[in-house]
Amino acid sequence: MSASPSRKSYIHPGHGAGYWLIFARSAFLILLSFELVIRLFILKHSPVEYKPGWGIIHVRDSYSVHGLEGFAVTHYLDNGEIVTPYQDGISVVVLGDSTTKAAQIPNDSNYVSLTEIALRTRGIHADLHNLGLPDRSIADYVALGPYVQKEYAPEIVVLQVNPSQFFFARAENRPNHFVDAGNGVLKLVTDQPDQVHNLAFTNFISHSGLLTLLDFRARNLLISHSPGQNGTDLAGEGQPIPEIERPSKNKDPQLALRQYGEEILPQIKALQAAYPNSKLVFLVIPYTPTFPSSLDDKIGWISPDDHLLARTLFFMDDVYMIYTLDAFQDLYVSEYNLPRGTWNSAFNFGHLNSHGHAAVASELVKMLGNILSYTEENDETGK
């Protein structure tokens, strides 16, 4: 190499067009490599559109890649529905959050698809419609009711719920939320979402894996530096989750149960009113396991909020409820498998993995199998 650079420039003064050509070629090859790797293996969002009643949904026949946690390619049908193995049969709609969407595992391995396949092997031709999407509250499900009924006319609506969804339903800054109408009745307030005008930007960056990941990282950075925020959905599609007071923090368990009941019952009634022709099945998936910190402790399988929710739903009339706590414990005892965490996320803050989805599916199959078999028998006897 020649003499040391002058203090004024660290680029050798002799470099001309040849230097810049290689510079540009290097930059291009690097960007192309990033784009290919990210698009194929890390993150690629599908384009979205706004559909009245449905909100912002994935475009039909589009796909997204999610490799930040696990790896999967998700394909979409109408209304943001995630593809399942079968598209004919008795209509069952599954509403849920990112657990149901399961962007981190192959579509055929999520609990909705597994349930559909298992029901078929039992001779029950059910068509499960996976409408899982992060950041939906109970109010959103109620608002969706007429459109789901019109589009799918489901026999059964499975609602994968968590405690937050009942509380978010009261948040007035959300497009769909509940307000008290008196006498224990809730009124749904529906506002036009304000993300519509952002879709052009969202769809622009969705064409590039690199831009998508940059946007995702930048938003995570902003959120993590914002006060009062405690996280964001891993798919980057949800809003930051604000801190809310949990009834489970109440030291009086009876009071806690009553508080849950008082909050949940009107919302359950609102759901029943929104899906009058469908049986409602509530699916509660505890956010466990939690891990012991000393040799004397055991794995924690009970999440206080989820447990309280499950107990509250259990005592309600006219609802079906599935609580997957036992299935998760059996999974560990019999197979030494844990339901959460993927190859690149830890057990205690990950989404369900394929073992967890299989465990959930086994419970859902039993419930749906019973309901649909009972329905078929009644149809046959002419009741």
Partner 1 sequence: MNFLSTQFWVLLISVLILTRLIRPVIHQKLILLAASCLFYAFWDWRFLGLLAVVTVVDYYVSVGMQGAHNEKTRKTLLAVSIASSLAILGFFKYFNFFTATFDSAASVLGVHLPELGILLPVGISFYTFESISYVMDVYHRKTEPAQSLLDYSVFIAFFPRLVAGPIMRAANFLPQLQHGIRLEPTGIIRGAQLFGQGLLKKIVVADTLALIVDQVYGSPWLYSSATVWLGVCSFAVQIYFDFSGYSDMALGIARILGFELPVNFNLPFTSQSFAEFWQRWHISLSTWLRDYLYFPLGGNQKGAWRTYFNLIVTMLLGGLWHGASWNFVLWGGLHGLALGLERAFTQDRPSKEWRISTSWFKALGIFLWVALTCVFFRSPSMEMAGQVFSKLAFIDPGGVVWFFYPAALYLLIVFIGGLLMRLKKIDLATMDYYQPYFFPVLAAEYLFIFLFATRNNSPFLYFQF
Minimum Å gap between C-beta 118 and partner 1 is 21
Encoded one letter per residue, x for contact with partner 1 by CB under 8 A and - for no contact, window 285-304 reads: ------xxx-x---x-----
User: Does residue 40 bind partner 1 (CB under 8 A)?
Assistant: no
Q: What is the rounded distance in angstroms from the CA atom of residue 8 to the CA atom of residue 320?
A: 76
The residue within the footprint of partner 1, chosen from 38, 65, 102, 112 (CB under 8 A), is: 38
Minimum Å gap between C-beta 233 and partner 1 is 12
Q: What is the rounded distance in angstroms from the CA atom of residue 158 to the CA atom of residue 102?
A: 16
The residue within the footprint of partner 1, chosen from 179, 347, 363, 372 (CB under 8 A), is: 347
Q: Give, in order, the Cα–Cα distances in Å from 27 to each of 91, 148, 194, 211, 242.
A: 52, 49, 38, 16, 41
Minimum Å gap between C-beta 187 and partner 1 is 39
The position carrying tokens 């209304």 is 79
Encoded one letter per residue, x for contact with partner 1 by CB under 8 A and - for no contact, window 189-218 reads: ------------------------xx--x-
- Which CB atom, from 24 or from 255, has the smaller least distance to partner 1? 24
Q: Check if the beta carbon of residue 146 is closer than 8 Å to that of residue 176.
A: no
Token pair for residue 105? 């595992």
The beta strand positions in the chain, using DSSP E, are: 43-44, 48-51, 55-58, 63-66, 72-75, 90-95, 126-130, 156-161, 176-182, 185-190, 279-284, 320-323
The residue within the footprint of partner 1, chosen from 19, 201, 204, 314 (CB under 8 A), is: 19
- Which CB atom, from 42 or from 82, has the smaller least distance to partner 1? 42
Amino acid of residue 320: Y
The position carrying tokens 């055929």 is 108
Residues at the site binding partner 1, with contacts judged by CB under 8 A: 1, 4-5, 7, 9-12, 15, 18-23, 26-27, 30, 34, 38, 42, 213-214, 217, 220, 225, 291-293, 295, 299, 332, 336-338, 341-347, 353, 355
